[in-house]
Structure 1
Amino acid sequence: MKIHTGEKPFSCHICKYQCIQKSHLQSHMKIHTGEKPFSCHICKYQCIQKSHLQSHMKIHTGEKPFSCNICEYKCIKKDVLQTHMKIHTGEKPFSCNICEYKCIEKSSLQRHMKIHTGEKPFSCNICEYKFKEKSNLQKHMKIHTGEKPFSCHICKYKCITKSDLQRHMKIHTGEKPFSCHICKYKCITKSDLQRHMKIHTGEKPFSCHICKYKCITKSNLQTHMKIHTGEKPFSCNICEYKCIEKTNLQRHMKIHTGEKPFSCHICKYQCIQKSHLQSHMKIHTGEKPF
């Protein structure tokens, strides 16, 4: 009956948590004490409740007892399936009180609200980076440790996140699921398509506060600003060459290695850059555009 009356007689003396049952309070207190009495015998996972361990073990067994009746999606927990079903129904019960953003999960809304508040509670103890989410900080830390746990089974590519590997694998499969409805452009990621569409709209939301430069992406602006600051973070370990972008350094290193990956199919000409080959081909075609 306490569910109907709203009565919560058990409360935490440390935070504002209140609950119906004493056992719930006992479980909650372990958050404050840091106690995790249940541990996985396969990996290092530890948790507060036995039910959490039982759910975790399904990761190792591969068991996914809950399945969607519309698509092929399967999952470990019932509440995860309930959240998934909202994709099919279009239900978005959580909405932002500042902008028009709506979402399926409360956690997604909490994450979104940090955009408005500017809150970045997770900070790197090595550099100045700050993040809205703990998971992003954990990913970032691998940059400092050099850890790349995900590797391609076809080439030598290694990366920090599973999503990066999934994106990379499309290079080998040739899959380009996102396509432009105006031109023939196709790409691997949705973000690449969104960036491309700005070419057609002419939108350049990022602008330099020193000169009139405008661009499509934040990363392009960050690179541009180094022109004004004179910063050249990438340097050659053989000569004194320094540059703004990593790609420029990679191109430069080919001078030292003698690598010329671009070659003409008509004559023996070889070069370092694709643009140089394109210029060269005009000799054979007779094209004189200028």
Structure 2
Amino acid sequence: MTTHTGDKPHSCEVCSSSFARKSTLLRHMNTHTGDKPHSCEVCGSSFAQKSTLLIHMTTHTGDKPHSCEVCGSSFAQKANLMKHMTTHTGDKPHSCEVCGSSFGLKSILLRHMRTHTGEKPHSCEVCGSSFAQKSHLLYHMTTHTGDKPHSCEVCGSYFAQKSTLLKHMTTHTGDKPHSCEVCGSSFGRKSTLLRHMRTHTGDKPHSCEVCGSSFARKSTLLHHMRTHTGEKPHSCKVCGSSFARKSNLLYHMTTHTGDKPHSCEVCGFSFAQKSHLLNHITTHTGDKPHSCEVCGSSFARKSILLSHMTTHTGDKPHSCEVCGSSFGRKSTLLRHMRRHMGEKPHSCEVCGSSFAQKSILLNHMTTHTGDKSHCCEVCGSYFAQKSILLNHMTTHTGDKPHFCEVCGSSFAWKSNLLNHMKKHGR
């Protein structure tokens, strides 16, 4: 009759929970005492309730007596069948009171609520790490045990999680069942599709707590955090140099091995990094997809566009610690530093002369080759360097863009201005 009246006369002395039946109270008490009186005769596992033991036994017998009338799928537990049915009906009766999200299963709602409360009830007994979901804890435990029970039948690779194995299988089958509704791109994993969608939506859900920068991927945020912590976990076994990213280490290794696996199909030049090859390709295609919104100039690389933008904003965020000079580009600062250190890393293979900048070396090389590829459109004169051509053009235009700040004299060439400044003792 208690099922009709709602009476729960049996109370737990530990936590005050109430139950309609004494047998239910006795089963509940096992949660406090830790008693597991029901043991599996096959594997020895113990359970607090007999019903849980019976459910467990189906893992040995393989019995799945509960069938879906829609698709024919079978389940060991009726509860799992009921959960499965929501995939057909689309019912999501369980709603989150915080954000309004709806779920087909109450258990999924409860797990979802932990994203709001921050609760992580599942703790690792080895290292103390805590997790919101038990499945995450079980996966984490494999980092301590090294267990990889899931094997690929094609190549023999082993994986800690079955889901990771299933994702791996797409590398053999080539299946890409997850398609983008915006651009039609297909992906082997749903997680990859979700990350791809951010390129359309612009979502950057992962924020840095230090500086507020936002990122589309959690992995990118983790890499970014190293700019604050200074952490460089990837070390070179040859010279001991450390790097924040593994990709940077791999690129660095090519300085030891000399490997340049990425070759240009047009001219045959080889590069250590694929990104360098892609940048190089634009010299053949002439593509300049990155345009300046201020002056309309176009550039082959986004990095060059960003550097160009400093000419409009006047920003010079890179300062020299020796003399205090500021520069718009970090690369310009690095070249400037060579003046203080006297470093000249670029050497001529013909005469052995060394130079601080690669561009100066290239200009120097014309003294050996005799190349004069820069032509004046006014008088037809040829010059080895573009800078010399520009200086020459002032003889036609009469421009004198270089001014003396002391006396106001103007000069066509910067070198003439520098010579003039010596008169003022500068």
TM tier relative to shorter chain = 0.7 to 0.9
Task: Give me the whole-angstrom Cα distance separating, in 2, the residues matched to 1:186 and 1:163.
Answer: 19
Query: Normalized against structure 2, the TM-score is what?
Result: 0.54
Q: Counterpart of 1:11? A: 40
Deviation for aligned residue 1:50: 2.9
Task: Give me the whole-angstrom Cα distance separating, in 2, the residues matched to 1:121 and 1:230.
Answer: 39
Q: Counterpart of 1:176? A: 204
Q: Counterpart of 1:79? A: 107
Stretch of structure 1 that moved more, 207-216 or 82-91? 82-91
Helix, strand or coil for the counterpart of 1:165? Answer: helix
> Which aligned pairs between 1:270-281 and structure 2 lie closer than 5 A?
273-275=301-303
Helix, strand or coil for the counterpart of 2:171? Answer: helix
Map Cα deviations across residues 219-269 of structure 1 (whole Å, 9 max, x no partner).
443555566567777778999787665555656776887765456889999
Task: Give me the whole-angstrom Cα distance separating, in 1, the residues matched to 2:237 and 2:118.
Answer: 41
Task: Give me the whole-angstrom Cα distance separating, in 2, the residues matched to 1:240 and 1:42.
Answer: 60
Does the CA contact (< 8 Å) of 1:10 and 1:22 recur in 2? no
Q: Counterpart of 2:145? A: 117
Query: Normalized against structure 1, the TM-score is what?
Result: 0.74
Deviation for aligned residue 1:273: 4.1
Change (3 A) 1:181 1:12: closer
Helix, strand or coil for the counterpart of 1:143? Answer: helix
Deviation for aligned residue 1:129: 4.7
Task: Give me the whole-angstrom Cα distance separating, in 1, the residues matched to 2:161 and 2:181.
Answer: 30
Helix, strand or coil for the counterpart of 2:98? Answer: coil
Change (3 A) 1:266 1:67: closer
Q: Counterpart of 1:98? A: 126
Q: Which amino acid aligns with 2:80?
A: H
Stretch of structure 1 that moved more, 158-167 or 90-99? 90-99
Q: Which amino acid aligns with 1:189?
A: R
Stretch of structure 1 that moved more, 244-253 or 43-52? 244-253
> Which aligned pairs between 1:48-197 and structure 2 lie closer than 5 A?
48-127=76-155, 129-180=157-208, 183=211, 185-197=213-225
Q: Cα RMSD over matched residues?
A: 4.2
Q: Which has the higher contact order (CA 8 A, sep 6+)?
A: 1
Change (3 A) 1:121 1:242: farther
* Structure 1 unaligned blocks of 5 or more: none
Task: Give me the whole-angstrom Cα distance separating, in 2, the residues matched to 1:63 and 1:167.
Answer: 27
Task: Give me the whole-angstrom Cα distance separating, in 1, the residues matched to 2:224 and 2:183.
Answer: 28
Q: Counterpart of 1:207? A: 235
Task: Give me the whole-angstrom Cα distance separating, in 2, the residues matched to 1:119 and 1:50.
Answer: 31
Q: Counterpart of 2:365? A: none
Does the CA contact (< 8 Å) of 1:64 and 1:74 recur in 2? yes
Does the CA contact (< 8 Å) of 2:40 and 2:53 recur in 1? no
Task: Give me the whole-angstrom Cα distance separating, in 2, the residues matched to 1:87 and 1:233.
Answer: 45
Q: Percent identity?
A: 44
Stretch of structure 1 that moved more, 143-152 or 120-129? 120-129
Task: Give me the whole-angstrom Cα distance separating, in 1, the residues matched to 2:62 and 2:246.
Answer: 40
Change (3 A) 1:156 1:52: same
Stretch of structure 1 that moved more, 129-138 or 32-41? 32-41
Task: Give me the whole-angstrom Cα distance separating, in 2, the residues matched to 1:278 and 1:157.
Answer: 29
Task: Give me the whole-angstrom Cα distance separating, in 2, the residues matched to 1:267 and 1:150.
Answer: 41
Deviation for aligned residue 1:166: 2.1
Change (3 A) 1:23 1:211: closer
Task: Give me the whole-angstrom Cα distance separating, in 2, the residues matched to 1:257 and 1:31.
Answer: 62
Map Cα deviations across residues 101-149 of structure 1 (whole Å, 9 max, x no partner).
1123333222222222333333434447543211112112212221111
Q: Which amino acid aligns with 1:191?
A: S
Task: Give me the whole-angstrom Cα distance separating, in 2, the residues matched to 1:224 and 1:128.
Answer: 32
Over alpha carbons, which structure has the higher Rg?
Answer: 2
Aligned counterpart for 2:244 among listed residues 216, 223, 228: 216
Helix, strand or coil for the counterpart of 2:203? Answer: coil
Task: Give me the whole-angstrom Cα distance separating, in 2, the residues matched to 1:264 and 1:91.
Answer: 48
Helix, strand or coil for the counterpart of 1:211? Answer: coil
Number of residue pairs aligned between Structure 1 and Structure 2: 288
Change (3 A) 1:65 1:141: same
